[in-house]
Structure 1
Amino acid sequence: MAKDKKYRKKKLGSYPLASVVFSVTLALFVMGLFGLLIITTQNLTQLIQENIEVQVFLQKNLSENEVVKITKILSSKDYVNKKAGVPQLALITKEEAAETFIAETGEDFVEFLGDNPLRDVITVKISPDFQATENLAEIKKEIGFIRGVYEVTYIENLVHSINKNVKKISYVLIGFTVILLFTVVILINNTIKLALFSQRFLIRSMQLVGATSSFIRKPFLSRASMFGLTSGVLASALLWGLLQLVSSEVEGMMELLHLEQLLILGGSLLLVGLLVGFMSTFAAIKKYMKMSLDELY
């Protein structure tokens, strides 16, 4: 029994499981957390951009056919945001606007004035591709020339602020992504190198008895690949558990995340764990195989 235990400790490729998996899982988990931050930020930004709209106020006393015609003209424009091929615009009649105002304020201004001074308005959601300040200015000008349109408005300061902040956030996220990815790769690489350090004399012994390089590498690379995949699965499971916990406390959290994005993130963690583990192990084994006996000590 003691002999078998001793043999297993010195078996080729058998470096510590728990410490390596724990370290790699932790590194991938941190990477996954940042990935969730990026996904959530992007989806929130997209949601904000999809709700940027232009208000098209119509002239008074237009017939129903004229209003429908203006609506069709706007629906055909490329700058109108579309979901599942449906143009995102809505007609709010002056009667609906008055009812909403009265419900919110509790004051019946129509009865007080004896008339409804509001206008019919068409709200047009603009595609994110056309939300640059100069594009919106052109869109405002173009819609203003449509017959039956009284005025076109949008909150220019808000749009400018959103565009400016989106660029800043994108640059910051790209920078942090590069730094974090580099850090994770270095951490996993060093963890595997330390784990393989205890195997350096066994590698030399195998070389001395005539084992080929591929024969020596194979068990190490197989084990490293298994460790990487296991760590990726554990990191993905931890992220999913954390998401369930957060979503139970923060209402609407899961609405900012899509299943396909989470699957891609999980697959990315598996791939990073597998590739970095494999490549780090390959590089470490190659290094120890080339070292002299004095250098091994």
Structure 2
Amino acid sequence: MANQRKSIRKKKLGNYPHAMVVFSITLALFVIGVFGLLLIHAHTLSENVKESIEMQVYLDRDLSEVQLARMQKSFAAKEYVAYKADTAQVRFVSKDEAAKLLLNETNEDFLTLLGENPLRDAYVLRIDADHAGTPELKSIKLDLQDTDGVYEVQYVESLIQSINSNLQKISIILLGFAAILVLVVIILINNTIKLALYSQRFLIRSMQLVGATSYFIQRPFLNRATWQGIVSGLIASALLFALMQYAYHEITELQLLRNDEQTYLLMGALVVIGCVIGFLSSYRSVRKYLRMSLDELY
């Protein structure tokens, strides 16, 4: 009696060993999730590097306090100025403060030698990451130079060009790897489900022979594959979250690159990817066996 029940369970439509399928899909989604985390942290690092770009705006001499305040307000209103905690990243550096900094760096008392302070008051502007490209920075420099009271605008152009060029190359390489990895994951999940459904090919044919419609045959397989994709996505997301928390605990510097919003979007994407690929792979495989002749099934 027990053997008979066991046999019936084995022959139940769509009832193939799902633990192996869930494990394989989870592993594939976890790998793509890890690479997705790498992309998120690389993007955040790129944004931080770009937002560290500063422009020194040197001012005319003998400007009044009112003129200085008006200029600071004008700079803060520029769309290309970075903001942090709703505060414009505009910093005033007086010529006396600049002289002290230079004296500490060089250990040479140039004030005594020259008899006066040749430096100028300046505003240091931190540029928003979206405007940190080489062409945009040149336009920003020209815009700042047209401001009344500005003597000269400087930034380390060669260094910034090198940074932008390297960041662009790294982004292209990472996106290329991401595209290849996604393709490999899709193929892996598709093949896993095809192998799982291979054992069901004769049952599918038997259901056809007794008059079952294609929809009736496909429905349990599609439901099972969809739930497998969802469960696999949730497990992969949980593993990814655990890995992320462990990495943040062990390497505290990674907290600076943390982006919870994009990370949660990535986890949601893993669930969607698992669900969609599972459904489509199962749909294609079942339709393939439905169209095969009996000789082709062997």
The verdict on how the C-alpha distance between 1:159 and 1:187 changes in structure 2, with shifts beyond 3 A counting, is same
Q: Give the Cα–Cα distance (whole angstroms) in 1 for the partners of residues 208 and 280 of structure 2.
A: 21
Question: Tell me, which stretches of 5 or more residues in structure 1 are unaligned?
Answer: none
Query: Which stretch of the first structure deviates more once superposed, 16-25 or 164-173?
Result: 164-173
Q: Give the Cα–Cα distance (whole angstroms) in 1 for the partners of residues 61 and 252 of structure 2.
A: 42
The verdict on how the C-alpha distance between 1:206 and 1:21 changes in structure 2, with shifts beyond 3 A counting, is same
- The corresponding residue for 1:123 is 124
Residue identity in the other structure for 2:73: K
- The corresponding residue for 1:258 is 259
- The corresponding residue for 1:52 is 53
> Deviation of residue 89 (structure 1)?
1.1
> Deviation of residue 110 (structure 1)?
8.1
Q: Give the Cα–Cα distance (whole angstroms) in 1 for the partners of residues 105 and 52 of structure 2.
A: 25
- The corresponding residue for 1:36 is 37
Residues 33 and 270 in structure 2, CA contact (< 8 A), matched pair in contact too: yes
Matches within 5 A, 1:64-83: 64-83=65-84
> Deviation of residue 232 (structure 1)?
0.3
> Deviation of residue 98 (structure 1)?
4.7
> Deviation of residue 252 (structure 1)?
2.7
Q: Give the Cα–Cα distance (whole angstroms) in 2 for the partners of residues 277 and 63 of structure 1.
A: 69
Residues 14 and 200 in structure 2, CA contact (< 8 A), matched pair in contact too: yes
1:160 is aligned to 2:161:
yes
Q: Give the Cα–Cα distance (whole angstroms) in 1 for the partners of residues 156 and 28 of structure 2.
A: 44
Q: Give the Cα–Cα distance (whole angstroms) in 1 for the partners of residues 260 and 24 of structure 2.
A: 27
Q: Give the Cα–Cα distance (whole angstroms) in 2 for the partners of residues 86 and 160 of structure 1.
A: 27
1:231 is aligned to 2:232:
yes
Q: Give the Cα–Cα distance (whole angstroms) in 1 for the partners of residues 111 and 119 of structure 2.
A: 13
Q: Give the Cα–Cα distance (whole angstroms) in 2 for the partners of residues 208 and 33 of structure 1.
A: 46
- The corresponding residue for 1:289 is 290
The secondary structure found in structure 2 opposite 1:55 is: strand
Matches within 5 A, 1:1-297: 1-83=2-84, 86-98=87-99, 100=101, 109=109, 116-297=117-298
Residues 51 and 132 in structure 2, CA contact (< 8 A), matched pair in contact too: no
> Deviation of residue 283 (structure 1)?
0.6
The verdict on how the C-alpha distance between 1:230 and 1:134 changes in structure 2, with shifts beyond 3 A counting, is closer
TM-score, length of structure 1 as denominator length: 0.91
> Deviation of residue 94 (structure 1)?
3.2
Please identify runs of 4+ aligned residues in structure 1 that moved more than 6 A.
Answer: none
Of all paired residues, the percent bearing the same amino acid is 49
Deviations 1:233-276 (A, max 9, x none): 11111111111111112123133132211111011000010000
The secondary structure found in structure 2 opposite 1:78 is: coil
Q: Give the Cα–Cα distance (whole angstroms) in 2 for the partners of residues 273 and 45 of structure 1.
A: 29
Q: Give the Cα–Cα distance (whole angstroms) in 1 for the partners of residues 188 and 92 of structure 2.
A: 57
Residues 26 and 232 in structure 2, CA contact (< 8 A), matched pair in contact too: yes
Residues 134 and 160 in structure 2, CA contact (< 8 A), matched pair in contact too: yes
Q: Give the Cα–Cα distance (whole angstroms) in 2 for the partners of residues 5 and 192 of structure 1.
A: 23
> Deviation of residue 83 (structure 1)?
4.6
The secondary structure found in structure 2 opposite 1:252 is: helix
Q: Give the Cα–Cα distance (whole angstroms) in 2 for the partners of residues 99 and 5 of structure 1.
A: 86
The secondary structure found in structure 1 opposite 2:12 is: coil
The secondary structure found in structure 2 opposite 1:255 is: helix
Q: Give the Cα–Cα distance (whole angstroms) in 2 for the partners of residues 111 and 58 of structure 1.
A: 20
Residue identity in the other structure for 1:226: W
Question: Tell me, which stretches of 5 or more residues in structure 2 are unaligned?
Answer: none
Residues 226 and 275 in structure 2, CA contact (< 8 A), matched pair in contact too: yes
Residue identity in the other structure for 1:146: T
The secondary structure found in structure 2 opposite 1:33 is: helix
> Deviation of residue 107 (structure 1)?
5.2
Q: How many residues align?
A: 296
Q: Give the Cα–Cα distance (whole angstroms) in 1 for the partners of residues 219 and 140 of structure 2.
A: 63
Q: Give the Cα–Cα distance (whole angstroms) in 2 for the partners of residues 163 and 53 of structure 1.
A: 14
Query: Which stretch of the first structure deviates more once superposed, 110-119 or 8-17?
Result: 110-119
